[in-house]
């Protein structure tokens, strides 16, 4: 020790260089001495171990990086991202265990290590603690049978409004080009607005004029900002153009804050004046949140975080799945014809939709196959709460474990010809743990039944074969996000020979 002190004093430069070399040697060789050294994975540079992950993230192709590692190392591998070392699992049985076993695995809130500054209190980003349990318990009744029935009715009315809008355009023009993702995003935004918040966003009504209505700023936040912030650590936000200095995001956030303030103030006034609930579905998400705030059970920040979270999770994920349904039906006219044959005898304007939908087996297959092939939530993160074993490998406590849903859904081990869109595969039940569009266990999606009803009402009401041209100008291109399967555009050409 004395000699070391003398070296630092007499030859500080040599001491500094030696310390740096020793540090990098330690960082380099530590990966070979790690308790998880039996798990395969790439060898990383000690200087910038997350370089590859950041490079793919910046290109919005992070899940291509995971695909590359999966193909090279198999169903379990280690990789180092900006947040540190993670274990990626692409095995159905282990995925089921990781998502359902709350004694060995838990959900770490995204905001715990990456403040999102918009939805830090949203249900799906909260850690599995007492706060999450309180939020879930308060909100669960807003997704009961009455609200599901209301969802079906609102979905029907909204899609009929959309069809009338497109028919009106076709009566004036020979052909129309539409971004079907934008169209469907407006549709689902109107539905979630009415069902969860008792408020019309007027998105379908103002589809031709993005400067009117209140939906454009929400669309900016939910499609351009939040998906990237959820995928990237705060240190990279400026590099990726998603920090608060971005004028587009700053303006959108101000307007969204005002929208939420207006919605909350209007409803709170009714609550404080003890205005009677006219319908059971009026006890919606907004109402329950504000009652909780009024009773001191939630803060204003918690309420606003949940509101933004429900706008994001409640419309953008469904819009993306529906966009992929449109894409696949355009590519597979035979499948579209079979769907039309199944639903042609149904009067969606009059029949009881909740009674009818379970009988539409092929429609169910079409929707599930889109979710399988194009999962909008391609992975889920858990943290080990104790030392455990995954696929025969030791994994210590406090290790990040990524369940690679996209990899499982597209694995030939669980699905024959996995990259083929084949709704008939759902005539046979899948392998347990191989289909996870809404997660699993106690952290599964709270609104999954509502989302399925919404999508199943919308899908058959769009008669693709007759009014969407087979030429799709821009399928899923460079505008998909780092979450892999979030779409930004799907251009279609619609002819004037008609919706009918």
**Binding site annotation covers 330?**
no
CB 301 within 8 A of CB 174: no
Q: Would you state the structure tokens that stand for residue 154, as one six-digit string?
A: 């609102």
Q: DSSP 3-state assignment of 437?
A: strand
DSSP H helices in 349-463: 353-356, 361-373, 405-409, 448-458
Asked if residues 366 and 339 have their Cβ atoms less than 8 Å apart, the reply is yes
Q: Which helix (H) or strand (E) holds 491?
A: strand 491-495
> Residue 177 in contact with residue 491, Cβ under 8 Å?
yes
Give the residue from 468, 467, 488, 469 showing the smallest Cα distance to 477.
488
> Is residue 434 helix, strand or coil?
coil
Query: Among 275, 268, 282, 264, which residue's Cα sits nearest to residue 147?
Result: 282
Q: Which residues have a Cβ under 8 Å from the Cβ of 418 and sit 6 or more positions away?
A: 373, 409, 410, 411, 412
Question: What is the C-alpha separation between 326 and 498, in angstroms, rounded?
Answer: 17
Q: What are the binding residues?
A: 445
Q: What are the binding residues for heme?
A: 445
């Amino acid at each position: 020790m004395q000699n070391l002190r003398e070296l630092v004093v007499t030859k500080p430069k040599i001491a500094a260089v030696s310390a740096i070399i020793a540090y990098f040697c330690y960082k380099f060789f530590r990966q070979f001495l790690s308790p998880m050294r039996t798990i395969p994975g790439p060898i990383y540079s000690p200087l910038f171990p997350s370089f590859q992950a950041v490079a793919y993230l910046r290109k919005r192709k992070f899940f291509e990086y995971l695909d590359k590692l999966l193909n090279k190392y198999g169903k379990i591998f280690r990789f180092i991202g900006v947040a540190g070392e993670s274990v990626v699992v692409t095995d159905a049985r282990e995925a089921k265990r990781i998502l359902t076993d709350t004694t060995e695995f838990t959900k770490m809130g995204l905001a715990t290590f990456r403040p999102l500054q918009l939805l830090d209190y949203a249900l799906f980003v909260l850690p599995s603690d007492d706060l999450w349990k309180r939020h879930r318990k308060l909100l669960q009744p807003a997704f009961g049978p009455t609200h599901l029935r209301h969802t079906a009715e609102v979905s029907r009315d909204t899609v009929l409004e959309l069809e009338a809008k497109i028919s009106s355009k076709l009566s004036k023009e020979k052909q129309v080009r539409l971004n079907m993702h934008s169209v469907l995003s407006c549709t689902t935004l109107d539905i979630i607005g009415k069902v969860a918040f008792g408020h019309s966003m007027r998105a379908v009504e103002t589809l031709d004029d993005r400067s009117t209505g209140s939906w454009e700023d929400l669309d900016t936040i939910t499609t351009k900002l939040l998906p990237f912030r959820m995928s990237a650590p705060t240190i990279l936000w400026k590099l990726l153009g998603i920090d608060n200095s971005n004028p587009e995001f700053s303006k959108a956030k101000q307007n969204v804050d005002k929208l939420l303030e207006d919605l909350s103030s209007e409803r709170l006034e009714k609550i404080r004046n003890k205005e009677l609930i006219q319908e059971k579905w009026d006890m919606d998400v907004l109402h329950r949140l504000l009652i909780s705030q009024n009773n001191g059970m939630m803060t204003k920040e918690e309420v606003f975080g949940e509101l933004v979270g429900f706008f994001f999770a409640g419309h953008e994920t469904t819009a993306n799945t529906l966009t992929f349904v449109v894409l696949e039906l355009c590519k597979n006219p035979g499948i579209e014809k079979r769907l039309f044959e199944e639903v042609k005898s149904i009067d969606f304007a009059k029949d009881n939709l909740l009674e009818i939908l379970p009988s539409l087996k092929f429609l169910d297959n079409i929707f599930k196959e889109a979710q399988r092939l194009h999962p909008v939530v391609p992975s889920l993160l858990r943290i080990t709460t104790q030392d455990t074993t995954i696929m025969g490998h030791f994994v210590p406590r406090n290790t990040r474990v990524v369940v690679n849903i996209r990899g499982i859904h597209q694995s030939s081990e669980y699905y024959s010809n996995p990259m083929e869109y084949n709704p008939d595969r759902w005539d046979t039940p899948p392998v347990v743990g191989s289909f996870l569009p809404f997660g699993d266990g106690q952290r599964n999606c709270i609104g999954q039944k509502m989302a399925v009803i919404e999508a199943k009402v919308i899908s058959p009401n769009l008669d693709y074969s007759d009014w969407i041209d087979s030429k799709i100008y821009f399928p899923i291109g460079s505008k998909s996000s780092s979450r892999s399967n979030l779409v930004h555009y799907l251009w279609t050409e619609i002819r004037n020979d008609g919706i009918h």
